[in-house]
Amino acid sequence: MLTKKQLDLLELIHKRMQKDGVPPSFDEMKEALDLRSKSGIHRLITALEERGFIRRLAHRARAIEIVKLPDSIAAKYSAAPQTGGFTPRVIDGDRPSSRPSAAAPVSQWGATDVPLMGKIAAGVPIEAISQIETHVAVPGTMLGGKGHHYALEVKGDSMIDAGINDGDIVVIRETSTADDGDIVVALVKGQEATLKTLRRQGGRRIALEAANPAYPAQIYPDDQVEVQGKLVGLIRTY
C-alpha cells in the first residue's frame, strides 16, 4: 500500500517520462508535491524503490526506471496496443561457460558469425554500444536481408510481450531506416541505445514503445532519435 504522496510522485514520474522520456528533476518533484525540501523527495523515492515500483540507475543523473505501476495509475495510462509487431524466430542454444575472445570469427555448421556488441536496454536507454565483445553463430536463414548484421544481449523486460526476454540475444540488421511498428535499435540523443518499437507521431516526433504495459512510451523530437538497426532474429540460451 502506497501513501498518497508516494502515489502522487509515482504518477508524476510516469507522466513526465511518458511525455518527455526523462523523469522530472528533484526540484520539479518538490514543487509539484508542495514539499519544503528535497529530503522529502529522497524519502519518497527510497520508499518507492524499496517497494519495487521504481529502480534508480547508478552513475547517471536523473536516472529512474519505472518497474511497475499500481492498478490505479496503470488504468489511467494504459499503453497503446501493439500491432503489426515482430514474431521472433527463436533459436535455442546452450549458454557457454565463458565467452570466447573477440578474435576473427569462425563459421560453424553453415552458420554465420556476427559480432556481439554488448548489452541493449529493453527498458530505459543505456549507454551507447560500441565495442565488440565476442562473436555468435547465427543460422543463415535468420539473416534474410542484405547488409551488415550484429547481435546484442537484452537487458530488461520491457519487450516481453513481443517475446523478447531478459538475457536473450537479438540479431540486428544494420539500417538507418525503419517503418512504423518495426522493433529497432534506437540511439537517443547521440548517447544512449534502447530496443523499442518505433512509431512516428505526426509532425516531428517519434515514440519508442515498449511491449510491456508497465513501461510508458518514450517520446522524442525526431532529430534526437537515430535508427541503428532493425530486429531480424532472436537467440535464446538456457
Q: Which residue has the higher pLDDT, 19 or 54?
A: 54
Q: Are residues 70 and 94 in the same domain?
A: no
Residue 193 φ/ψ, nearest 5 degrees: -115, 145
Q: Which residue has the higher pLDDT, 150 or 81?
A: 150
Q: What does the radius of gyration of the chain's CA atoms come to, in whole angstroms?
A: 19
Q: Are 205 and 218 in contact (CB under 8 A)?
A: no
18 within a domain of the structure (yes/no): yes
Q: Are residues 217 and 169 in the same domain?
A: yes
Q: Are residues 179 and 65 in the same domain?
A: no
Provide the pLDDT for residue 2. Answer: 84
60 within a domain of the structure (yes/no): yes
Determine the average pLDDT of the residues in 114-118: 82
Q: How far apart are CA 191 and CA 175, in angstroms?
A: 18
Provide the pLDDT for residue 55. Answer: 82
Q: Are residues 205 and 111 in the same domain?
A: yes
Q: What is the pLDDT of residues 208-230, one digit of tens each?
A: 999 888 888 999 999 999 998 89
Q: How far apart are CA 157 and CA 34, in angstroms?
A: 34
Q: Which residues contact 205 (CB under 8 A, 6 or more apart)?
A: 219, 220, 221, 222
Say which CATH number the domain at 187 has.
Answer: 2.10.109.10
**Number of folded domains in the chain?**
2
Q: Which residue has the higher pLDDT, 36 or 144?
A: 36
What residue type is 26 in one-letter code? F
Residue 102 confidence (pLDDT) above 60: no
Determine the average pLDDT of the residues in 83-97: 45
Q: What is the pLDDT of residues 148-190, one digit of tens each?
A: 888 888 988 889 888 888 888 898 888 888 899 999 999 888 8
Burial of 44 (0-12, 13-18, 19+ CB in 10 A): buried
Q: Are residues 50 and 94 in the same domain?
A: no
Q: Are residues 26 and 142 in the same domain?
A: no
145 within a domain of the structure (yes/no): yes
Provide the pLDDT for residue 119. Answer: 82
Q: Are residues 162 and 96 in the same domain?
A: yes
Determine the average pLDDT of the residues in 4-31: 83
Provide the pLDDT for residue 130. Answer: 58
Q: How far apart are CA 51 and CA 96, in angstroms?
A: 35
**Distance, CA of 12 to chain centre:** 21
Q: Are residues 176 and 106 in the same domain?
A: yes
Say which CATH number the domain at 29 has.
Answer: 1.10.10.10
Q: Which residues are catalytic?
A: 158, 196
Beta bridge partners of residue 169, listed in sequence order? 153, 235
Q: Are residues 141 and 223 in the same domain?
A: yes
83 within a domain of the structure (yes/no): no
Q: Which residue has the higher pLDDT, 118 or 183?
A: 183
Q: What is the pLDDT of residues 126-141, one digit of tens each?
A: 555 656 668 888 877 7
82 within a domain of the structure (yes/no): no
Q: Are residues 110 and 20 in the same domain?
A: no
Beta bridge partners of residue 43, listed in sequence order? none
84 within a domain of the structure (yes/no): no
Instruction: Tell me which residue range forms the domain holding 57.
Output: 4-74
Residue 82 confidence (pLDDT) above 70: no
Q: Are residues 138 and 109 in the same domain?
A: yes
Q: Are residues 204 and 120 in the same domain?
A: yes
- Of 48, 74, 100, the one marking the end of a domain is 74
Residue 19 φ/ψ, nearest 5 degrees: -80, -50
